Amino acid sequence: MEDRKDNKTSLSNRVLVVDDEPAMRRLLRTILLTQGYEITEASSGSAALQVILGRETIDLLVLDLALPEIDGLEVIRQIRGSGSAVPILVLSNRSDENSKVAALDFGADDYVTKPFGARELLARVRAALRHRLQVAGERPVFKAGDLSVDHVRRIVSLAGQEIKLTPKEYALLSLLVSNAGKVLTHKFILENLWSGEADAQYVRIYIRSLRQKLGGEAGSSYILTEQGVGYRFIDPTEMTLQS
Distance CA 8, CA 123 (A): 22
Instruction: Say yes or no to pLDDT of 4 above 70.
Output: no
**Which tens digit of pLDDT belongs to each residue from 212-234?**
999 877 668 899 998 888 999 98
CATH no., domain 140-233 = 1.10.10.10
Residue 210: which pLDDT band, with cuts at 50, 70 and 90? very high
pLDDT at site 7: 38
Distance CA 7, CA 4 (A): 10
Instruction: Say yes or no to pLDDT of 76 above 70.
Output: yes
- Are 226 and 100 within 8 A, CB to CB? yes
Distance CA 121, CA 85 (A): 20
Distance CA 127, CA 125 (A): 5
pLDDT averaged over every residue in the chain? 84
Distance CA 123, CA 10 (A): 18
138 vs 207, higher pLDDT: 207
Average pLDDT over residues 136-155: 79
**Superfamily of segment(s) 14-135:** Response regulator (3.40.50.2300)
For CATH 3.40.50.2300, the residue range(s) in the chain are 14-135
Instruction: Say yes or no to pLDDT of 243 above 60.
Output: no
Alpha-carbon distances, residue 86 vs 5, 97, 122, 151, 226 (angstroms): 19, 23, 17, 24, 22
